[in-house]
Chains A and B, each alone.
Chain A
Amino acid sequence: MQWEIVIGLEIHAQLTTASKIFSGSATTFGAEPNTQASLVDLAMPGTLPVLNAQAVKNAVKFGLAIDAEIGMTNVFARKNYFYPDLPKGYQISQMDLPIVGKGHVDITLDDGTVKRVGVTRAHLEEDAGKSLHEDFQGMSGIDLNRAGTPLLEIVSEPDMRSAKEAVAYARTIHSLVRYLGICDGNMAEGSFRCDCNVSVRPKGQTEFGTRCELKNINSFRFIERAINTEVQRQIELIEDGGTVVQETRLYDPNKDETRSMRSKEEANDYRYFPDPDLLPVVIEPSFVEQVRSELPELPQQKRERFQSEFGLSAYDASVLSASREMADYFEQVQRTCGDAKLAANWVMGELSSLLNKSDIEIDQSPVSAEQLGGMILRIKDNTISGKIAKMVFEAMANGEGDADQIIEARGLKQVTDTGAIEAMLDEVLAANAAQVEQYRASDEAKRGKMFGFFVGQAMKASRGKANPQQVNQLLKQKLDG
């Protein structure tokens, strides 16, 4: 049987606001336990929430960026359940009237095709604290520093059909929230968390299969692995005559398996109702317009501009606009050297493989955009060849300085003096007299093949510094007479 995979994602993005969503406490990660918990975060009797305007603005930014309807009147609701790291006994969230309604994002798949994924809604809510189960000898510790940190929960339509699509979607949202500057996207610190709803159905069937929710996956790699593992489990289960039970499952990356956390029957009845401590949030159209005018250039716009302004291919434009840092780097290289194609080739080629090898992000690159641009300038003005440039780049990566310093120090400046090249070529031809003889006796087709040999010898003799175009041209003259 052919199976179709159906995936929907719920992404929790922590919003980068200076203070919490309903209190004045700071939101810095990693502070001593409970040092960033105010009376409100501790749910002291008699305390009341006050909405952080910046969180609202961040959510509206996101809504505009995914072309969504903005909930001009949106309402906070209480989601009631008991847990020690949930101090009020309810989480303030949004239910019926979220701040962001239906929208969409376009994701680019590996083969370059673009797919539109629907976003059902995005709503504001507060994060819970953390339960610490180590170091307390049979008891649990509670750290409420994170309690009340603003979250934007972004719920997708079940539009994805493979783990790779799910990852592409997650990366697109990740890139978007970072472009917007509303979330730092740090997955290791939990600033960007993903729940995946996964089901399978026989190809051609229109009804969805029963889904399972995979909770809190904290890397893109694990999203792909968790989904594939869960899909495999569901297919095997069904093919063995079993049925999938709607439940929440946890992915264990060490064992590469998912296991049941709680079933639908055990799920809480959250008893949502509008929070009477908070008035409905009424957003003025003028506010939306102001936020719209402050939006930065978004990945898609950037991608289109890279194509139209710089003549880049769709693929190159999409790679270079994948993150704001990557795009900024590329544009700086381009500005410095004035050659978008060379800039794109170097950023996507040598630079990317350097970053991959060292497992670092572009904003930590040992070669700055200005340095790379400066080096490309030397290629363009024929100071160095592309081949020498690779040596220069490596040296820059090792911290040996700018391209000019390295070219100077290592004597890599390209030889363009015709007389010097001719002299060098004469030596090469003299040293290979037999081959010259052979060449001159051959027909046009054979000569073509042999020509490369002389070029190689000449470049070798010049230790790569001779200008390749001149070498070609002069050799031709000398050999063909």
Chain B
Amino acid sequence: MHEKTLAELSAALHSKAISSVELTEHYLARIQQLDGTLNSFITVTQELALEQARAADARLADGSAGPLTGIPLAHKDLFCTRGVRTSCGSKMLDNFVAPYESTVTQRFIDAGAVTLGKTNMDEFAMGSSNESSFYGPVRNPWNQELIPGGSSGGSAAAVAARLCAAATGTDTGGSIRQPSGFTGLTGLKPTYGRVSRWGMIAYASSLDQAGPMARTAEDCALLLQAMAGFDERDSTSVEHPVPDYSAELNQPLQGLRVGLPKEYFGEGLDAGIANTIDQAVKQLQALGAEIREVSLPNAELAIPAYYVIASAEASSNLSRFDGVRYGYRCENPTDLMDLYLRSREEGFGAEVKRRIMVGTYALSAGYYDAYYLQAQKIRRLIKNDFLAAFEQVDVILSPTSPIPAFRIGEKIDDPVSLYLTDIYTITANLAGVPGVALPAGFADDLPVGMQLLGPYFSEPRLLNVAHQYQQATDWHTRAPL
């Protein structure tokens, strides 16, 4: 039954072909069987899951069930879950049991979904390969020597390996879209402010956005429906009506204007990926789309701007991890300074420290104007690039990554080359626009991800295009293992 999509499982639950307890037990058994090597889960919440499954079955029986009732999901381990360890992939929070529930997970609880556990991730969501986790690297189910992408690598591997029906992720610079691309999934980063950040441990507050990672656009629509909406506890969440994300899935693509940013198809793009995306473009054309070239002239500035802004915000966001109130505390501190220095020295991993240092530097007196303010200017330019491009086209199409999934350890000593792989995804975070990643084929037996970006709050349109593409192709049905 793990071959079914979320939408199919929902139908099966509602028709009583299966029960949520059966489904949950099935996934728990698969996790038990397969996750020892994949390492996609940090915590498996078996008892909680079965309890929720029983409650879901009761709702399914009494007719109060919704489309997600009884569906076993996994959550990236940076959503606070009451009574369950919320580690953020860090030694710093290895002992942290959240005393409250994030808005995103609460909404899934309210919808009757089942929580199978918390998924592995790059430490504090800082990484593109899921190798910076305190709990070890996650393996790509398509080839276990390879990384699954990051930072939502655990969620990606778990959904791709069919260890859960779908999962949540978060995307600060591509952390939903890039791993979705590397593992053959459909993943959506919503418009900034669409989904509440309350209870989501912050990496870079102005860029972080939670979204669904699933097998199909149709599944993403069902998940986003539960996640989206204004939350008075998050001042940056937007009071914008939530549409029915499934309503427009079946609209034909006739007349759709698809833009290909010329800056995204140049140097550094893997030939296999370029060919695969080319085929996908042709497919969309066959479905009625018009293809146009567009320009995002400031795209090349995105990576430096991103690493200044994200690191600056992170350096401040992570100050609260000081060993005083919760989380890791060093043994026998001699005084306050020793407590701070050793707790943070021992509790944070190398990549986190690197970004805290970069961010601290960028905000320091004498450097602020040259780095932080300059980066904010670039951010505005990039936003304007998108606004101009969306005057001409409805969606912008690109690969999710210039290179295919690489070997575990391959780039670990070369952070800058790793940062450069975020080139196609980062601009959407800087501009705040939504993006969806979906499987577009294979190159060298590895999934290739295609990214579609749209104007603010164009999630229904993005899901529509992805769904129509998936009606005409079967890449999304391919399974690893």
User: Residues of A at under 8 Å CB distance from B?
Assistant: 39, 42-51, 78, 80, 82, 84, 87-90, 140, 142, 269, 271-273, 276-279
- B58-91 vs A, Cβ < 8 Å mask (1 yes, 0 no): 0000000000000000000011100000101000
How far, in angstroms, from A50 to B315 measured CA to CA in the complex? 21
Q: How far is the CA of A273 from the CA of B371 in the complex (A)?
A: 12
Residues of A within 8 A of B232 (CB): 50
9 new A-B contacts, CB < 8 A, other than A82-B319, A277-B235, are: A39-B100, A42-B325, A45-B93, A46-B78, A50-B233, A88-B320, A89-B318, A89-B319, A279-B236
**B320 close to A43 (CB less than 8 A):** yes
B315 / chain A contacts, CB cutoff of 8 Å:
80, 271
Whole-angstrom CA separation of A297 from B368 in the bound complex: 44
Residues B322 and A89 in contact, CB atoms below 8 Å apart: yes
- Residue of A with least CB distance to B324: A84
| A46 vs B87: C-alpha distance when bound (angstroms) | 12
Please state if A279 and B235 are interface contacts (CB–CB under 8 Å). Answer: yes
Q: A271 with B99: in contact, given A48-B197, A276-B205, A279-B235 (CB under 8 Å)?
A: no
Q: Which of B18-26, B357-365, B392-400, B470-478 contacts A (4 or more CB under 8 A)?
A: B357-365
Whether A277 pairs with B319 at a CB distance below 8 angstroms is no
Contact B322 A82 (CB under 8 A): yes
Closest to B365 in A: A269
Cβ–Cβ < 8 Å partners of A278 in chain B:
235-236
B199 near A46: Cβ-Cβ < 8 Å: yes
In the docked arrangement, what's the CA distance between A84 and B315, Å?
Answer: 17
User: Whose C-beta in chain A lies nearest to the C-beta of B202?
Assistant: A46
CB of A50, distance to nearest CB on chain B (Å): 5
Q: How far is B200's CA from A255's CA once the two chains are assembled, in angstroms?
A: 51
Within 8 Å by CB of A78, from B100, B316, B365, lies B316
Hey, which chain A residues are within 8 Å of B8, CB to CB? none
Most A CB contacts (10 A, CB to CB) among B200, B319, B325, B326 go to B319
Question: With contacts A87-B325, A89-B322, A271-B363 known, is A46 near B80, CB below 8 A?
Answer: yes
Query: Separation in Å of the B333 CB from the closest CB of chain A?
Result: 10
Main secondary structure of the interface of A (DSSP, over half): loop
Q: Are A87 and B320 in touch, CB under 8 angstroms?
A: yes
B201 at the binding interface (Cβ < 8 Å): yes
Contacts of A271 in B (CB 8 A): 315-316, 360, 363-365, 368
Specify the chain B residue showing the minimal Cβ separation from A23. Answer: B233
Asked if B234 is at the interface of the complex by the 8 Å CB criterion, the answer is yes
Minimum CB–CB distance from A417 to chain B (whole Å) comes to 77
Whole-angstrom distance between the Cβ of A13 and the nearest chain B Cβ? 24
Query: Residue of A at shortest CB range from B340?
Result: A82
- B372 at interface (Cβ–Cβ under 8 A)? yes
Q: Can you list 22 A-B pairs with a CB-CB distance of less than 8 A?
A: A44-B98, A44-B99, A44-B326, A45-B80, A45-B201, A45-B202, A45-B320, A45-B326, A46-B78, A46-B198, A46-B200, A47-B198, A50-B233, A82-B322, A84-B336, A90-B316, A271-B363, A271-B368, A273-B313, A276-B205, A277-B235, A278-B235
- Cα A84 to Cα B339 in complex, Å, equals 10
Contact of A48 among B98, B234, B319, B364 (CB under 8 A): B234
A269 in contact with B325 (CB, 8 Å): no
Residues of chain A within 8 A of B200, CB atoms compared: 46
Cα distance A185–B312 in the bound complex, in angstroms: 38
Q: Are A80 and B363 in contact (CB under 8 A)?
A: yes
| B5 at interface, CB cutoff 8 A | no
Determine the chain A residues whose CB is within 8 A of the CB of B363 once the complex forms: 80, 271-273
Assess whether B442 is interfacial by the CB under 8 Å rule.
no
Residue from B204, B235, B312, B364 within 8 A of A50 (CB atoms) = B235
**Nearest chain B CB to A79's CB is how many angstroms away?**
10
Residue of A nearest to B309 (CB): A276
CB distance A46 to B364 under 8 Å? Answer: no
Which chain A residue has the least Cβ–Cβ distance from B80? A46
- B residues near A277, Cβ cutoff 8 Å: 202, 205, 235-236
Given that A39-B99, A88-B319 are known contacts, is A273 also in contact with B336, CB under 8 Å in the complex? no
Distance in angstroms between the alpha carbons of A46 and B99 in the assembled complex: 11
- The closest CB in chain A to the CB of B100 belongs to A39
CA distance A272 to B312 in the complex (A): 10
A90 contacts across to B, CB distance below 8 A: 316, 319
CA of A88 to CA of B315, assembled, Å: 12
- Closest A-chain residue to B372, C-beta based? A273
The CA of A150 and the CA of B72, in the complex, are separated in Å by: 44
B143 is an interface residue with CB less than 8 A from chain A: no
Query: Does B102 interact with chain A (Cβ within 8 Å)?
Result: yes
Q: Does B206 contact A (CB under 8 A)?
A: yes
Q: Mark B305-318, 1 if CB is under 8 A from A, else 0.
A: 00000001101101
- The yes or no answer to B406 lying at the interface (CB within 8 A) is no
- Chain A residues, Cβ within 8 Å of B316: 78, 80, 89-90, 271, 273
* A contact residues around B88 at 8 Å (CB): 45
Q: Tell me if B372 and A45 are in contact (CB < 8 A).
A: no
Instruction: Annotate B206-240 by CB proximity to A: 1 below 8 A, 0 otherwise.
Output: 10000000000000000000000000111110000
Bound form: Cα–Cα A51–B372 in Å: 25
Distance in angstroms from B44 CB to nearest chain A CB is 21
